Amino acid sequence: MVKRHNFVRGFCLMGIAGVLAVGTGCGETKRLRRENQQLHEQLTSLQQENADLSSKVGQYESELSQLENSKRALEEKLQGTGASVRIKNGAVSVTLPGSVLFDSGQTTLRPQSKETLKKIAGILKTEAASEVVRIEGHTDDDPISKQKDKYKSNWELSTARAAAVLHYMVEECSISPTRVYLAGFGQYQPVTDNNSKSGKASNRRVEFVIVPRGTVDRMLP
């Protein structure tokens, strides 16, 4: 009887252990399934992010290619005018040295600069007919001396020069006033240092930044 009792007891214990093992296995399976589902959702999200990034990269490369093409085309059309072309903050910018446009410290356009401005105006009316143009004035870091009573700082001088160019483009070259606006940056956006005469000359300039419509606010420096 004792042997039979021990056998029955052992069988019952084995049965209980088996049930516990099955219960534990089910819980582990559920946990693994949840983790697998979470990993699958994360993978799907990462794949979507990767697709979005690839699309943005493709769009950026396309826009950059278009800008490069526009830059080369403008360089060809402006050869011999003294103007240079570069890509600036995602837009094409045509730069004219201050010496082409103005005498030292002045804001009256030099007569010989007007043919160049007419050529630029022609391009703006054909090649960039649907876009907005920001006309920027820039100076070197020399303080105002000759016309200190008229211009408090280089900000005022650079803005007055940009305004002189804007008025000529609108009034003499028939550029629509709805397409242009001006900005004067004074000495604070140099293209090179001001440690030499050539550096100062490069920083004295007016730029025509061709800004695609709908992105004017985004393009502001």
Domains of the chain by residue range: 1-77, 80-219
Least confident of 51-60, 127-136, 140-149: 51-60
Torsion of CA 209, 212, 213, 216, to 10 degrees: -50
Q: Is 211 exposed, middle or buried (0-12, 13-18, 19+ CB in 10 A)?
A: buried
Domain 80-219 has CATH 3.30.1330.60: yes
Which pLDDT score, from 0 to 100, does residue 6 have? 54
pLDDT at 218 over 50: no
Distance, CA of 100 to CA of 31 (rounded, Å): 76
The pTM score is 0.72
**Higher local confidence (pLDDT), 217 or 169:** 169
**What pLDDT is stored for residue 219 in this prediction?**
44
| pLDDT band with cut points at 50, 70 and 90 for residue 35 | confident
pLDDT band at 165 (very low <50, low <70, confident <90, very high): very high
What b/e sequence results for 99-133 when a residue is b if at least 16 CB atoms lie within 10 Å of its CB, and e otherwise? ebbbeeebbebeeebeebbebbbebbeeebeebbb
**Residue 59: its pLDDT value, please?**
61
Beta-sheet strand order (sheet of 91-97): 84-88, 91-97, 205-211, 132-138, 180-184
Q: What is the pLDDT of residues 153-162, one digit of tens each?
A: 999 999 999 9
Distance between CA atoms of 114 and 63, rounded to whole angstroms?
A: 32
Token representation of residue 213: 């419509």
Cβ neighbours for 130, distance < 8 A, ≥ 6 positions apart:
213
